[in-house]
Structures are given as C-alpha cells and as structure tokens.
C-alpha cells in the first residue's frame, strides 16, 4: 500500500504530493480502502512553496542546463553494453540530493519529501545547492540568488 505524508492545516489534511495521492485514488476508483492516520513528528514550520518553486523552477533547470553545457553525462552500463546520455531534471535533483541535502540530524541526508524538512533545513539545502553551482560548475551566484525569496 502507498504511504503519503502531509500536514494538518486549516482543519484539513494537506499532502506533500497531492498529485500522487490523486493518481492512486483514480486508479482505485470504486474499491474499498482503510485509512489509518499517524502523527510522525512535532509541529514544525514546513518548507515553503516559494522555496520549492525556487528549487524546482530555477535551480534545477539552470543546473541541468549547465551540467549539459559542460558536457557531463550519465553513464549507462547494462548487459555488457555501455552508453551515455545527457542530464535530465530528475537526474540533477538526485545529484543535488546526494551532495546538498546533508542537513538532517548529525549531517544525515534528508530528502525534500521528508516531513521533517522544515523551512530552516530547506534554506540550508538551497544554500548548499547554490554553493555547489558556484563552486563546482562556476555558475553566477548573484544571478541565482536574485530570484530567491527572502
């Protein structure tokens, strides 16, 4: 069974990925289900839509473009064959997750979908992503920061 996380806000359940929940509901139209709710953490100030928009709408596309402009590729090895392909946004997101999301307890990796990814930790992720873009890809940090909400 799928598992979804979210927050209780304005007397309603708000899922972090409502699109996936709606897709699951659509696939199971007419079937019975059992819903069990479990509180998973204390009240936190969740990451904001502005932070996620900055990440997905500007940073990921710009960094993907730069990775490809630099000629970096994703190697594919399977069944004795080898190939390479350009970076896609999902690849860039996974790369950034592994390199920049070490913001959990004792520096543990936290995914953006983690319910404990609060506004403070998300801000640290964004700082790390910009440092990576500037330090490793030689991108213009001022240009990237210009679109960030304060």
DSSP character string of the chain: -----EEEETTEEEES-HHHHHHHHHHTTT----------S----BPPHHHHHHIIIIIHHHHHHHHHHTT--EEEEETTEEEEE---HHHHHHHHHHHH---SGGG----TT-TT-BHHHHHHHHHHHHHHHHHHH---HHHHHHT---
130 CB neighbour count, 10 Å cutoff: 18
**pLDDT (tens digit per residue) in 52-78:** 999 999 999 999 999 999 999 999 999
Alpha-carbon span 38 to 22, nearest angstrom = 20
Which has the higher per-residue pLDDT, 10 or 71? 71
Q: Are residues 56 and 109 in the same domain?
A: yes
pLDDT of residue 109 exceeding 90:
yes
pLDDT of residue 16 exceeding 80:
no
Tallying the residues shown for the chain, one arrives at 150
Q: Are residues 12 and 82 in the same domain?
A: no
Q: Are residues 50 and 34 in the same domain?
A: no
Q: Are residues 101 and 53 in the same domain?
A: yes
* Domain that residue 8 falls in: 1-40
pLDDT at 108: 92
pLDDT at 41: 67
pLDDT of residue 43 exceeding 80:
no
Total domains in the fold of the chain: 2
Q: Are residues 17 and 60 in the same domain?
A: no
pLDDT of residue 150 exceeding 80:
no
pLDDT at 44: 67
Q: Are residues 22 and 86 in the same domain?
A: no
Q: Are residues 91 and 125 in the same domain?
A: yes
Q: Are residues 23 and 95 in the same domain?
A: no
Q: Give the pair of three-digit tokens for residue 81.
A: 């064959």
Averaged pLDDT score across all residues of the chain: 90
Q: Are residues 18 and 57 in the same domain?
A: no
Q: Are residues 31 and 86 in the same domain?
A: no
Q: Are residues 104 and 131 in the same domain?
A: yes
Q: Are residues 92 and 126 in the same domain?
A: yes
- The pTM (predicted TM-score) of the whole model is 0.70
């Amino acid at each position: 069974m799928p598992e979804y996380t979210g927050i209780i806000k304005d007397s309603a359940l708000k899922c972090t990925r409502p699109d996936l929940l709606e897709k699951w509901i659509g696939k199971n139209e007419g079937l019975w289900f059992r819903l069990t709710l479990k509180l998973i953490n204390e009240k936190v100030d969740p990451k904001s839509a502005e932070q996620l928009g900055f990440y997905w709408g500007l940073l990921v596309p710009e960094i993907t473009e730069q990775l490809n402009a630099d000629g970096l590729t994703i190697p594919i090895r399977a069944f004795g064959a080898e190939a390479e392909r350009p970076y896609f946004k999902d690849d860039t997101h996974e790369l950034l997750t592994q390199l920049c999301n070490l913001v959990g307890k004792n520096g543990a990796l936290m995914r953006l979908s983690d319910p404990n990814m609060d506004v403070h930790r998300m801000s640290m992720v964004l700082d790390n992503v910009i440092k990576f873009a500037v330090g490793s890809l030689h991108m213009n940090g001022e240009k990237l920061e210009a679109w960030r909400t304060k």
